[in-house]
Structure 1
Amino acid sequence: MTSSPRQDAAVTVLGLESSCDETAAAIIRLDPEGHVEVLADRVRGQTAAHAPYGGVVPEIAARAHAEVMDVLVAETLGDAGITLADVDAIAATSGPGLVGGVMAALMTAKGLALGAGKPLIAVNHLEGHALSPRLVEPLAFPYLLLLVSGGHTQLLIAEGVGRYHRLGSTLDDAAGEAFDKTAKVMGLGFPGGPALEKAAVSGNPARFELPIPLNNRPGFEFSFAGLKTAARQIWEKIESPSSADIFDLAAAMQDKIAVTLSNRASNAMKYFIETYPDALTPVLVVAGGVAANKAVRAALEDAAKAAGFRLLAPPMKWCTDNAAMIALAGAEHFRQGEQDALDVPARARWPLDAASAKLDPVIGSGRKGPKA
C-alpha cells in the first residue's frame, strides 16, 4: 500500500523488534538528507531464560516478548519525551524469524497503529540489518553487504531501499550457528558466539588443524557445517580438556570462520568493482550479530583494504538485534510513500531478495529461522 511520499520533511518512527530473543523498541528521526537521530533505544534480552537449555526456546521467547512489549513501548516513548501522537508511523519486524516472537512486535504495532490512526510499516528484519549502517551516516547506494548472524550468512548488493540483489548465501549452517553450536558442544555457555570469542582471546589458532570451507573456490556461497563437524570431532577426542585445549580450539574455530568470511567477501568485492566500475569509494558493509566479533571485523578490514574498499560496520549495539534499525527501515519506506495494511502477516520466511530466492532457493533452519 502506498501513500503520499514524505521526502521533503523529517519523519519520526517508532520501531518494534521481537524476531528471536531480544525484545526491542526504539524511536528515530530521519531528516531529508538521510541523517538519523536516535531519540530512544531500549533492548531487553532473555539470556537467563534460555541459558538452561543452551539455546533459544521459541515458546519461552514468544511468551517473554508478549509480557514486556507494551511496557517497553511506554518506556521508550518516555525516554524520547514524546507521545504516540508525535510519531509519524509505526514499524515492526514482520519476519523472518521465530514466528511466535515476530507476532509480539507485529501485533503490538498493529494495535498501536489502529488505536492512534498511524500508518503501519511491516519491516523485513534482514533489511533492518542491511540499512543499519545508515543509522551512523547517510550511506549512498549501491554498496556491498555481508549479512552474517545466527541464522543468516549471505552476500548482497544493496541497490536502494527495498532493492537488494543476492550474490550468494550459505549452503548449510550460518556462521553464527557454527559459533553457537560449537560453543554448546564445548560447554562454553549461552549465548555461544560471545562465549567462544572470549575463550579464543587466550588461544593459539594454529594448534588444531581445521578446514577452511570452500577455500580458493570462486563464487559467493558459504558453508560451515563441515567446519562445525570437524571442531566437534576434535573436541570429542580430548578426554579431559584443559583450559589450553578450550582456548586453542575456540581460537582455531574463530580463525577459520573469519578467514572464510573474508575470502568469500573478497570474491564479492571483485565482482562489485566489475559491475560498478565508476564507484569511487566502494563500501563493504558488514551487519548482523557476528559483525560484533572483533576477529571477523579485523579479517574483513584487511580484505577490504586489499580490494580498495572501505569497511563499514554499525556500532556493536546495532549489530545485534535492535529496534533502531527496524525504525530506520520503516522510516525509509514511509518516506517513499509506502505503508502496509493491518492484515499483513507475520512470516517465518521472508527473503530479502525475492527474485534471487525464487531462482536459487536456499532451504535450511537456523537460530533466527531460514537462511533465505
Structure 2
Amino acid sequence: MPTQRKERTEHRPGLILAVETSCDETSVAVVENGTIIRSNVVSSQIDTHKRYGGVVPEIASRQHVESVTLILEEAVQAAGIRLADLSAVAVTQGPGLVGSLLVGVVAAKTLACALQIPLIGVHHIAGHIYANELVHQLEYPLVSLVVSGGHTELVHVPSPGVFRIIGQTRDDAAGEAYDKVARAMGLPYPGGPHVDRLAHEADEGVPLPRVWLEPDSYDFSFSGLKSAVLAVLNQAKMRGEVVQPMRISKGFQDSVVEVLVEKAIRASKAFGAKQLMLAGGVAANKGLREALADRCAREELPLLVPPLSLCTDNAAMIAAAAFLKWERGELSSLDLKAEALLSLEQWSVKEPAEHAGR
C-alpha cells in the first residue's frame, strides 16, 4: 500500500495550497505546477482598518482567525479538488505582522500535518516577485523592482529562486510614504490609489526634490520627500492659501516615480538583465506602470508587470514561489516559525554551482 500511494503522488500534478496572512488580507489559493491558478480567494480587511487610518495589528490577526478556515474551504471548492489531491501546503513565513503571520502558519502546519504532506514556508517578497511567473515566461538573469507598503527594493535574480538585494529603502518604503502624504492631505485610507488618481488630474505638480543618494547607490530614501510635502502643506496653511491636493499629488508622484524608474533601469543595465519585473502592491500604481513601460520601451528592455489582481497580497503568488522549493525538495519542518523580519536572500533556493560567487 505505501508503494502504491507513492506512485500516485509522483504522477499527479504539483498542486500546492498556499495561505497568505502577512498583513490585512486573508488569502488561500491552489496553484498547479507553479503557474496555473486553480483558485485564488482573497478576503480584504480594508473596510475594517479604514476607520483607524491604517492597519491595527491586533484587529488584523483576530480577523484572520475568524476567516482563515472559511477562506480555505472556499479555495478548495473553487479549485474543484479534494484535499487528498494536494501535493504540499505553503504559507507566508515572513516578513509581516507577526500576529497575522502566526495565524497562517498555524493553519498551514495543521493542514500539512493532518494530510501528511510537505510544508513549505515562503518569503512574502519572493511571492510578489514570482506573481509574474503566473502570467509571464521569465528569462534569467533579471532584475525586480519591488514596491509595496513595507518594502522598496531592487532585487537581482540571476537564476530561478535566487535573490540578491542590490538596493533598498533606508527609511520609509514608497507605499508607506504614499499613505503618509495622503493622510496629511486628508485623503481616505489606503491613500496610495487616491494620490495616484489625483496626480493624473493635475496639469502641473508642485516642485519637489528627488533623492538620489550616492552616485553609485541603488538605495532609496523617501522620508525627506515626505517632509518636503508636509512643509508645503504647512506653508500653505500659514499663508491662508487653499491646499491643492492634485498639484501636490502630482509633484510627489513625479518625484517618487522618477527615482524608482531611473535606478531600476540603471540596475538592469549594470546586471545584464534580460527582463525588468515590477512587483508589490504599488505595482498597481498607474503612474509608475506608465513611466516604466515608456522608459523600458525606449531602452528596448522587456518589462513584466502582473495584472492588478496579483499586485496586492494574495496566496497564488505564495504558491508560485513555493513551487521553486517544492520541485527541489527544499521543504520546511513542522516546527516552522513565523519570522517578522525574514531575510529574502537567506530564503533563496540553493544556488546552482555555475552562478555561485558571481
- The SS at the match of 2:278 is strand
Find out whether 1:238 has 2:241 as its counterpart.
Answer: no
Letter in 1 for 2:223: A
The alignment status of 1:157 with 2:166, answered yes or no, reads no
How many pairs are equivalent?
340
Q: Offset of 1:9 from its aligned partner?
A: 6.4
CA distance in 1, matches of 2:10, 2:191: 42
Deviations 1:220-247 (A, max 9, x none): 11110100110111112223675x7011
Taking structure 1 as reference, are residues 103 and 119 closer, same or farther at Cα in structure 2, changes over 3 Å only? same
3-state secondary structure, aligned to 1:53: coil
The question of whether the paired residues in 2 share the 8 Å contact of 1:218 and 1:267 is answered with no
- 1:272 aligns with 271
SS state at 1:112 partner = helix
Secondary structure at the counterpart of residue 271 of structure 2: helix
What letter is aligned with 1:346? A
Q: 2:215 aligns with which of 197, 214, 217?
A: 217
Q: Which moved more, 1:103-112 or 1:233-242?
A: 233-242
Query: Which residue is equivalent to 1:351?
Result: 343
After TM superposition, list the pairs within 5 Å mapping 1:273-352 onto structure 2: 273=272, 282-352=274-344
Distance 1:229 1:7, change over 3 A: farther
Contact 1:7 1:336 survives alignment (8 Å): no
Distance 2:270 2:55 in 1: 37
Contact 2:144 2:156 in 1 (8 A): yes
SS of 2:287's equivalent in the other structure is helix
In the alignment, what sits opposite 1:16? 19
Match of 2:250 in 1: 251
Query: TM-score scaled to structure 1, two decimals?
Result: 0.87
* 1:40 shift after superposition: 0.6
2:111 corresponds in structure 1 to 112
Are the counterparts in 1 of residues 139 and 275 from structure 2 also a CA contact under 8 Å? no
Report deviation, 1:306.
Answer: 3.1
Question: Which of 25, 28, 38 is residue 28 of structure 2 equivalent to?
Answer: 25
Call closer, same or farther: CA 1:152–1:241 in 2, change over 3 Å: farther
- Deviation at 1:8? 8.3
Q: How far apart in 2 are the matches of 1:204 and 1:254? A: 13
Q: CA deviation at 1:298?
A: 1.4
Q: Which residue of 1 aligns with 2:351?
A: none
Instruction: Go from structure 1 to structure 2 and tell me whether the alpha carbon gap of 1:353 and 1:65 turns closer, same or farther (over 3 Å shift).
Output: same
Q: Does the residue aligned with 2:55 lie in a helix, a strand or coil?
A: coil
* Cα contact 1:12–1:331 (8 A) shared by 2: no
5 Å-filtered alignment, 1:133-212, equals: 133-206=132-205, 208-212=206-210
Cα displacement string for residues 168-227 of structure 1 (whole angstroms, at most 9, x for unaligned residues)? 111111111111110111110111111211222212343x11001117933211110100
Q: Is the 8 A contact 2:213 2:220 kept in 1?
A: no
Q: 2: CA distance between counterparts of 1:89 and 1:199?
A: 44
Query: 1:188 & 1:296 partners in 2: Cα distance?
Result: 20
Instruction: Give the deviation of 1:346 after TM superposition.
Output: 0.2
Q: Which blocks of at least 5 consecutive residues in structure 1 are unaligned?
A: 1-5, 277-281, 357-372
| Cα distance in 2, alignment partners of residues 11 and 137 from structure 1 | 19
Cα pair distance change 1:298/1:216, threshold 3 Å: farther
Maintained 8 Å contact 2:142/2:268: no
Equivalent residue for 2:354? none
Kept after mapping to 2: 8 A contact 1:92/1:105: yes
- Deviation, 1:301, is 1.6
Deviation at 1:100, TM superposition (A): 0.4
CA distance in 1, matches of 2:194, 2:80: 37
> Secondary structure of the residue that 1:144 maps to in structure 2?
strand
Residue of structure 1 equivalent to 2:44: 45
Q: Secondary structure at the match of 1:20?
A: coil
Letter of the aligned partner of 2:308 in structure 1? M
SS in 1 for 2:225: helix
Q: Which runs of 5+ in 2 are unaligned?
A: 1-8, 349-358
Same amino acid, percent of matched pairs = 40
Name the structure 2 match of 1:367: none
Measured in 1, the distance between the counterparts of 2:95 and 2:47 equals 24
Task: Determine if contact 2:161/2:324 at 8 Å carries over to the other structure.
Answer: no
Residues 27 and 314, structure 2, Cα contact 8 Å, conserved in 1 = yes
Tell me the CA shift for residue 160 of structure 1. Answer: 2.9
- Superposition TM-score, scaled by structure 2 size: 0.90
Deviations 1:26-74 (A, max 9, x none): 11101xxx7x211111111111111111111111111111110011000
Q: Kindly report the root-mean-square deviation, in angstroms, between the aligned alpha carbons of the 2 structures.
A: 2.2
